[in-house]
Every structure is written in C-alpha cells, then in structure tokens.
Amino acid sequence: MGLDLNVATISLLLLLASTANAASRVFNVRNYGAKSNSDITQAATRAWKDACAYPGSSKVVIPAAKYRLGTVNFLGPCKGPIEFNVLGSIQSPGDPKYFKGDTWISFGRVNHLTVSGTGEFDGQGRTAWGRSGCSKTNYCIHLPISLRFDFVTNSTVRDITSFNSKQFNINVFGCQNLTFDHVTIKTPGNSPNTDGIHIGRSTNIKVINSKISTGDDCISIGDGSRDILIKGVICGPGHGISVGSLGKYHNEQPVLGVKVIGCTLTNTTTGVRIKTWPNSYPGIASDMHFENIIMNNVDNPILIDQGYCPWNQCKPQIPSKIKINNVSFKNIRGTSRTKDAVEIICSRALPCTNVELRDIDLKYNGKDGPATSRCVHVNPLIGGHQNPPACSIKSLKKKI
C-alpha cells in the first residue's frame, strides 16, 4: 500500500514537473547560432518563429553581448503569451540604403507580448541624420522607425532602451491595451523627426515611469488615439508631449481621452500642446487633461496651436476644422524660456470649448518679460493661482 502511494506520488510529481516545463519555455538565440558581434537576423527570426508556435508561455532570450540585426518582422498570432527578452545591445544596419521599407524591427498582431530586459536597440541614426536630402521639410520620412508595434494587444514593453533611431524611436499603430513602463529613449536634441513614442489609431495605451530625450516630440499622439495615459514621464531635450498634429489627412479618427499626469519637461521647445493644421479636414479632439506637470526652461510650456503650419506647407489663413473640446491644464509650474508661457490659439471656424486653466505658475526671467498668456477664439474657465495672469494680452486686445 505504502509503496503504491509513493509510486503514485512520484508519478504525480513527475507529471507536474513536465507540465510546468511544457507551460513555459525559453528560446535562446544562441541556440539558433547567434554569436556576439555577429548578425543575428536569421537566429532571431527562427527563435521567434519557434517561440510563437509553442503552445504555452514562451520567451525569446537575447543574452548580454553586442549583435547586429537587419529588418525583422516578429509576427503573430502566437499560440501563447510570448516574451521578447533583450539583455544585449542590438545594432541596426547603419546605411539607410539598406532599408527597403520604413521599419527596422516590428512586432505585429501579437496578443500577450512582453518586450523586456535591460538591453538596448541602437538605431545607428548618426549615419542617417546628416544624409543629403534629409532636410527639415522632407522630414526624412523614408528612414526606418526603430520599433513598431502594429495591432499588438494586452501587452507590455518594459525596461528596454532605444537610442539614436533614424526616424521615430517607437511607433504604436492599431494597438489595444499596451503599456510602456520604465522605457528609456535617448536620441540627440538636434536629430530630425526622431519622436520618442508616436501613438496612433490605438486604445488604452499607457506610457509610465519613462525617460525620453530626443530631437522631436517625446511623445506624440495622433488621430484615432483613445484612452491614453502618460504618467511619470521625464522628457527633454525634445519638443515635449503633443497631441497631433491633426487634420492634415482625409478620414482621420477622433482623439478621445488623453491624460498627461505627473510629468517633468526640461529644456524642451514646447511643453504640453495640441496642434492642428489650418485648412484641415474635419475632426475631433476631446477630453484631454494635463495635470501636475513641472516645466524647466521650456520655450512654450502650454500651447494649443490650431494654426500649426511648419515651413509654410499650408494655407494659414483658412482655419482648422478640428473641434477641440474638454481640455484642462491644472497645476502646471516651473520656468518658461520665452515670455510666451501660455498660448491657447483656437480655430476661428470652431472655437475651443470647455477649456480650463487652473493653478498655473510659470516664471520667465528674460529682459522682455514678464511671461504672458494669450487666448484666441477660446474663453477658458480660470481657477486658482494664475501666473502669468490668464489670457492677459488677448483679453485686453479684445476689449479695445
């Protein structure tokens, strides 16, 4: 009897051990031929394929070392939750001519993806930024984005670093329930069009506890973004945290629900802003709230700009048709690098509605000071402390 029980117990334990094994498996790129300082495109592609086909939790591991990686598309759907764990430093091809499309690495149609690890994605942007033909106006749009997430759901990206992307560092498209936690982005302040994280056509996206320094927007939120939370982000240098630009293209979807909370911006050209093109297609941007934000030496800390028209690519005299509604700026303080601390410039055709300014304290110490606040085609609700005095210049002009 006793012996029988023992045998039964042992076989049960063995069964449990084997199911535990079956439930989670590691796919190390080294086992697919990846070597330090070599190109691991094939190894990473094959490791992903096997991990994705594995009917349980799987983990692709890229151990600590330097590697080179060409264009790869890590595609789902996968048979189970999948983790992409990067401990090494992965280097992009330097020459922009290598790239046939505008992507270096993409993750597509994956549910329950985790990208993790203390490793880094090195976009080798220096070789691209100085390239001839890559001027301000053509935006270097044909350069590759370092990391794309397309139709990724219920997923997390944490701890990784992206630096020196040739174009955007990270692009989010068609995603749902994707969180970026403790991500670092490091790209020089003078690199063109290198947004940190661009979000578009996506719902329930969070960027939390992350540090972004770059040459364009730290975070930009494009059309079709809903329920976006940006919290605990440190940004700078860069162009700040932006909604838009909106209205340039036909059939854009509304932006609904953006919260930017507890962020610090240092040495950025703008702080928090909403930008829409003049002479635009119709659209909606609503329910956007900016709260508890510190500005250090920011050129234009608070900005709604419905006449956004860089390099005169548009007809600025024709007003924007994007309707902006339900926006608040609360508890925003620090220093402005120009006297234009608060500018709420709305569309003549569709004035902004339900805009609130509460507890604003932005100091400016220049000789042409003090800081000013300007409101055009908007009549914001004002509350709490206001430095500069809310809408000072415009309300005076209006009365005249």
Enzyme catalytic residues: 216, 239
Alpha-carbon gap, residue 11 to 13, rounded angstroms: 5
**From 42, 154, 338, 353, residue interacting with ligand NAG (rule: CB under 6 A):** 154
Q: In whole angstroms, how close is the CB of 154 to ligand NAG at the nearest point? A: 3
111 contributes a contact to ligand NAG by CB under 6 A: yes
- Contact (CB, 8 A) for 350 and 376: no
Q: Which residues contact 230 (CB under 8 A, 6 or more apart)?
A: 206, 207, 208, 219, 241, 258, 259, 260, 261, 263
Q: Closest approach of Cβ 222 to ligand NAG, in Å?
A: 18
Quick one: 67 or 149, whose CB is closer to ligand NAG? 149
Cβ 211 vs Cβ 233: under 8 Å:
yes
Kindly indicate which of the ranges 122-130, 154-162, 338-346, 377-385 contains the residues binding ligand NAG, using the contact rule CB under 6 A.
Answer: 154-162
127 binds ligand NAG (CB under 6 A): no
The strand pairing partners of 246, in sequence order, are: 276
| Token pair listed for 356 | 């609130």
Should residue 28 be labelled a site residue for ligand NAG when binding is judged by CB under 6 A? no
Shortest Cβ distance from residue 153 to ligand NAG (Å)? 4
Residues in the chain: 400
Least separation in angstroms between CB 251 and ligand NAG? 24
Shortest Å, Cβ 115 to ligand NAG: 12
Please identify, among the stretches 51-59, 151-159, 191-199, 387-395, the one whose residues bind ligand NAG according to the rule CB under 6 A.
151-159
Which residues, 273 to 302, sit near ligand NAG by CB under 6 A? Answer: 287, 297
* Residues ≥6 apart with Cβ < 8 Å to 7: none
Using the structure block, give the residue that is written with the tokens 């280097």. Answer: 91
Task: Name which position in 80, 94, 174, 257 contacts ligand NAG (CB under 6 A).
Answer: 257
Question: Residues 304-326, buried b or exposed e (16+ Cβ, 10 A)?
Answer: bbbbbbeeeebeeeebbbbbbeb
Please say which residue, 179 or 395, places its beta carbon nearer to ligand NAG: 179
Whether the CB-CB separation of 263 and 231 falls below 8 Å is answered with yes
Neighbours of 240 (CB within 10 A): 27
Give 112 or 394: the residue with its C-beta nearer to ligand NAG: 112
SS3 19: helix
Tokens read off for 230: 């940006």
Q: Which of 42, 184, 266, 387 binds ligand NAG (CB under 6 A)?
A: 266
Among 85, 153, 191, 214, binds ligand NAG (CB under 6 A): 153
Confirm or reject binding of residue 326 to ligand NAG (CB under 6 A): yes
Q: Which is nearer to ligand NAG, 108 or 236 (CB)?
A: 236
| # chain residues binding ligand NAG, by CB under 6 A | 14
**Residue 236, interface with ligand NAG (CB under 6 A)?**
yes
Q: Which is nearer to ligand NAG, 89 or 253 (CB)?
A: 253
Q: How far is the CB of 285 from ligand NAG (least distance, A)?
A: 12
Rounded distance, CA 15 to CA 22, Å? 10
Residue 215 or 236: the one with the smaller Cβ distance to ligand NAG is 236
According to the binding rule CB under 6 A, does residue 392 interact with ligand NAG?
no
Task: Extract the tokens encoding 44.
Answer: 């990473």
**Phi and psi, residue 379, nearest 5°:** -130, 80
111: which DSSP letter?
Answer: B
Task: State yes or no: residue 108 binds ligand NAG (CB under 6 A).
Answer: no
Beta strands 120-122 and 113-116 are unpaired
Report the amino acid identity of residue 241. Answer: I
Residue among 178, 180, 146, 144 nearest 162 (CA):
146
Quick check: 237 binds ligand NAG (CB under 6 A)? yes
Residue 17 CB, nearest distance to ligand NAG (Å)?
A: 27
- Cβ proximity to ligand NAG: between 49 and 259 the closer is 259
Asked if residue 264 binds ligand NAG (CB under 6 A), the reply is no
CA dihedral of residues 242, 251, 355, 270 (deg, nearest 10): 20
The smaller minimum CB distance to ligand NAG, of residues 143 and 255, is found at: 255
User: Which residues of the chain form contacts with ligand NAG (CB under 6 A)?
Assistant: 111, 153-156, 177, 236-237, 257, 266-267, 287, 297, 326
